[in-house]
Amino acid sequence: MTQVLVLNASYEPLNVTSVRRAHVLVFKGKAEVLEELDQPLHSASDTYPWPHVIRLVHYVRVPRAVQRKISRRALFARDGWRCVYCGTASGRLTLDHVVPRSRGGDSVWENVVTSCAPCNHRKGDRLLEETSMTLRTPPRPPTPVLFIRLAADHVPDTWRQYLPGLDPAAAAA
Ligand SMILES: [Zn+2]
């Protein structure tokens, strides 16, 4: 248990941090402990609650304009480790631009999807409307919860009530 879930003042999940950093935030009065572990945290002279979930005292504005960097791992996790075109979860997964870069498509979350290699090859440099292929789900920027899931070694049960939309199906892998 060396990771701590950090919530905004609004209870929106923000990120995952170390116990040490979380303790410093609490010690400085910048965060409160919402969930703690049974065992206390010992310093040379004192004991403190061992933070497990903390909440910032002051609301931190999260700039939505700043895009989270696209990684294959985050993309595949967003799409549940399945091809968005045919739904297969087996075989090699690839990153596909819905509007191909050669046709002016950008590398943004709204234009990249998880595709199995055969679907990616089949689609090639065509637009969707030039094929008979369809998207099972429209691509969107991933939620903060997804990045927390990826940053966490595992998601403890005590975190779950603070992580709305945590998809157990997509958590595998
Ligand atoms: Zn496919």
pLDDT digits (tens, 9 = 90+) for 35-82: 999 888 888 888 888 999 999 999 988 766 556 789 999 999 999 999
Q: What is the pTM of this model?
A: 0.74
User: 146 phi and psi, to 5 degrees?
Assistant: -60, -45
Give me the residues near ligand 1 (ion), CB cutoff below 5 Å.
83, 85-86, 116, 119
Nearest one of 85, 145, 75, 144 to 110, comparing CA atoms: 75
User: 27 phi and psi, to 5 degrees?
Assistant: -60, -35
Separation of alpha carbons 34 and 47, rounded Å: 17
C-alpha 5 – ligand 1 centre gap (Å): 35
